[in-house]
Amino acid sequence: MHAQKRMLSLPSRNNMPIARRHLGTTKAQDVTIEAKNKETAQDAVNRRSFLKELLRPAATLAVVGGAGALALRAKPEDYVWQIDPEKCTQCGRCATSCVLSPSAVKCVHAYALCWYCDLCGGYHQSYTQAPDTAAEHQLCPTAAINRTFMENPFYKYDIDEDKCIGCGLCVKGCAAFGNGSLFMQVRHDRCVNCNDCAIARDCPSDAFVRVPVSQPYIIKEHGKEA
């Protein structure tokens, strides 16, 4: 028994980890390599966090950009329609039930929640294997999402609201395969704030709610990882 313990404490070359035998490294060198790998991984996390913090103000400005025009034509006690992201099921009726064409409902991107995926569930078709910008691989029927390379392997996705029809396909895809950083909101620089909103009447999940004009948007703050 003692001899066996001594043999285990001094492994032969054949008992060494395969990676070490092929690389010809010592245990001390392995520790150094492992530390460098951890440092590289941490650098990637830090870069990702930096990208999120860099884009966080842009996300807020993008969502509330239309609030200024709304405030000019509304009274302090007024209420407006908005979508609760936690109730929305992306049924597609925002695109078809709105009295406006295209709909006043648009996809909004919470950049702080985004994973900046190379293969994005909100941008690419679910069957796509190649993460590129080919039209046949894009999920959006109107090409309303712009994909921009940031830093390998991170990409930024921006919504072109002039092209967005409010169908919710990207939101559904992002929720299914990503962190759920895309969500639907009524854009108040477009909405005419009908007393009897046609979309609210048709919404199957009662996701349309009335909110104070002073807080016209319901910002999504938590993704699936929360």
Q: How many residues does the structure list for the chain? A: 226
Q: What pLDDT does residue 61 have?
A: 45
Contact 108, 130 (CB under 8 A): no
* Distance between CA atoms of residues 154 and 181, nearest Å: 15
Question: What pLDDT, in 10s, does the model give residues 22-76?
Answer: 334 455 555 454 555 555 445 555 555 545 554 554 554 455 555 555 555 556 5
Percent of the chain with pLDDT over 70: 65
Domain ranges of the chain: 50-212
The owner of tokens 């991984």 is 41
139-157 pLDDT, tens digit per residue, is: 999 999 999 999 999 999 9
Mean pLDDT of 183-193: 97
Q: Can you give the pLDDT at residue 223?
A: 80
d(CA 59, CA 185): 13
Residues 6+ apart with CB under 8 A from 123: 138, 139, 140, 145, 147, 157, 170, 173
CA-to-CA distance for 124 and 180, rounded, in angstroms? 14
Half-sphere exposure of 113 (CA within 13 A, CB side): 20
Cα–Cα distance for residue pair 155/111, rounded to 1 Å: 11
pTM, entire model? 0.69
pLDDT at residue 131 in the model: 86
The phi, psi pair for 91, rounded to 5°, reads -75, -20
- Spatial separation of the C-alpha atoms in residues 187 and 7, rounded to whole Å: 72
**Pairing of the two strands 154-159 and 79-83:** unpaired
DSSP letters spanning 106-165:
EEEE-GGG----SS-TTTB-TT--S-S--GGGB--TT--EEEEEEETTEEEEEE-TTT--
Q: Which helix (H) or strand (E) holds 64?
A: helix 27-64
Reported as a single tens digit per residue, the pLDDT across 203-218 is 999 999 999 999 999 9
